[in-house]
Amino acid sequence: MAGDWRASTWGDEISLEYGKALRDYDKTSGKFRVFGSNGPIGWTDKPLAPGPGVILGRKGAYRGIEYSRTPFFVIDTAYYVVPKSEFDMRWLYYAIKYHKLGEIDDGSPIPSTTRSAVYVRDFDVPPLAEQKAIAAVLGALDDKIELNRRMNATLEAMARALFQSWFVDFDPVRAKLEGCKPVGLDDATAALFPDSFQESSLGSVPHGWEVCPLSEKVQLLSGGTPKTSEPTYWDGDIPWYSVRDAPSENDVWAIHTNKHVTKLGIANSAAQVFPEKTTIISARGTVGKLALTAVPMAMNQSCYGVRGIIGYSEYFTYYSLRAATAQLQQRTHGTVFDTITTETFKTLDCIFPTPKITAAFDKSVEPLLGQILANLHQSRTLASLRDSLLPKLLSGELSVAPLTKEFSANE
């Protein structure tokens, strides 16, 4: 640790202020973020605290730590941090993460972080200039991760909009029916779409397209769990997916899992390895969480692997499942956990175009989903670098000056 860092306690440096109760934060489109114990939970029109600021969860099994650049609101399950002297607020955010203040538990039946338990903890404070330098290094990594997240949201929205246009709103068919060229399609792709509609059990659908149960156009693949008491089945090279590994809707891809199994574990269980671009849907408990496998992986028995039958492409299959998720969730059953089964897929009629059109869709969205995947891999690398640097920088083990020069030299 550098010699000019000073020893202090959290109680001498900050005050943890209680959030306030707030109604309807999940229904408003206000401009200010609302934070709870687990992180962002909604929006409101009036902030409680100025930005930049730090939020620390107060109640619950998981008490998150968040940083807000702009004014924000905190509900009564969390604190917001008010420094007693001048601090770089982003450095303070990283310091709170490093010292794991969100994991302090007062021992009550409901896990809680109390102010008295935090205030007595010791920590070392670097000069303000060094705080800013540390925050700049770690913040640059987090900012790029956040930029990738926003890019992925935009890219995924573009892919979803194309699916909506082609397979829900039938825009190319409507354009040809009116004697117009479909917008944004080359002649070869436009020629794949019919120029008229036919009646079906789901109403008017493009001529020659099929309405049938979802189960007739997909293969449903089951998962399994190797025996947990057998160590030779676990910690192998094969990713093993469960619902906790589900990506956000914007990220689409499952690129890693919390647990891995061995080939021996696969051979001695109902688990099987599915190829990349398999859609996984959670089928028990939390129903309808989706992922596309970025690498071959196995999964547990609470999920189904879904692949299109021959002729039906994999991205089209993913977005078809995504469009049908709400209806599948409405068809759940079970006395303890919500569940969907193979029979559930037989009850859901969907509209299916010709295989050539689904192949054209996959070709169109491939660059979008490919860039999402590349962004995810980059963000994972950046997060690993941040997590390795954070303890070294926050403890003073690693000087920030050489890092700052190196970052500048690479610009």
Q: Are 147 and 382 in contact (CB under 8 A)?
A: no
pTM: 0.88
What topology does CATH give the domain 213-352?
A: Adenine-n6-DNA-methyltransferase TaqI; Chain A, domain 2 (3.90.220)
In the three-class reduction of DSSP (H, G, I as helix; E, B as strand; rest coil), residue 179 is classed as coil
**Beta carbons within 10 angstroms of residue 124's beta carbon:** 15
DSSP-assigned letters across all residues of 21-84 = --SSTTT---SEEEEETTEEEEEESS-SB-SSEEEEE-BSS---EEEESS-EEE-TTEEEEEES
Rounded to whole angstroms, how far apart are CA atoms 167 and 384? 39
Q: Which two tokens stand for residue 57?
A: 């969860």
DSSP 334: -
Q: What is the pLDDT along the chain (411 residues), one digit of tens a residue?
A: 556 899 999 999 999 999 999 988 877 778 999 999 999 999 999 999 999 999 999 988 788 999 999 999 999 999 999 999 999 999 999 999 999 999 888 767 778 899 999 999 999 999 999 999 999 999 999 999 999 999 999 999 999 999 999 999 999 999 999 999 999 999 999 999 999 999 999 999 999 999 999 999 999 999 999 999 999 999 999 999 999 999 998 999 999 999 999 999 999 999 999 999 999 999 988 889 999 999 999 999 999 999 998 778 899 999 999 999 999 888 887 766 788 888 999 999 999 999 999 999 999 999 999 999 999 999 999 999 999 999 999 999 998 865 554 444 444
For the packed helices 128-167 and 89-98, what is the interaxial angle rounded to 10 degrees? 90
Residue 76 near residue 49, CB atoms below 8 Å: no
Secondary element (H or E) of residue 292: strand 290-293
The torsion angles phi and psi of 254, rounded to 5 degrees, stand at -95, 110
DSSP, collapsed to helix, strand or coil, labels residue 234 as: strand
Answer positive or negative: Cα dihedral of 100, 147, 366, 218: positive
CA–CA gap between residue 211 and residue 43 (Å, rounded): 41
Q: How many residues does the chain have?
A: 411
Q: CATH 3.90.220.20 spans which residues of the chain?
A: 6-125, 213-352
Residues near 85 by Cβ (< 8 Å), separated by ≥ 6? 13
Query: At 164, phi and psi to the nearest 5?
Result: -60, -45
Complete DSSP assignment for 338-389: -B--HHHHHT-EEEE--HHHHHHHHHHHHHHHHHHHHHHHHHHHHHHHHHHH
**8 A C-beta contact, residue 332 and residue 352:** no
CATH match for 6-125 among 3.40.50.11810, 3.30.70.100, 3.40.50.150, 3.90.220.20:
3.90.220.20
Task: Return the percentage of the chain with pLDDT > 70, whole number.
Answer: 95
Q: Is 256 exposed, middle or buried (0-12, 13-18, 19+ CB in 10 A)?
A: middle
Q: Radius of gyration over alpha carbons of the chain, in Å?
A: 26
What tens digit of pLDDT does each residue of 130-176 get?
Answer: 999 999 999 999 999 999 999 999 999 999 999 999 999 999 999 99
Q: Which residues contact 399 (CB under 8 A, 6 or more apart)?
A: 2
State the pLDDT at residue 409: 42
CA atoms within 13 A on the CB side of 365: 30
Distance between CA 259 and CA 280 in Å, rounded?
16
- Count CB-CB contacts under 10 A for residue 409: 7
CB of 194 within 8 A of CB of 277? Answer: no
Give the pLDDT of residue 372: 98
What the block records as the tokens of 316 is: 């089209």
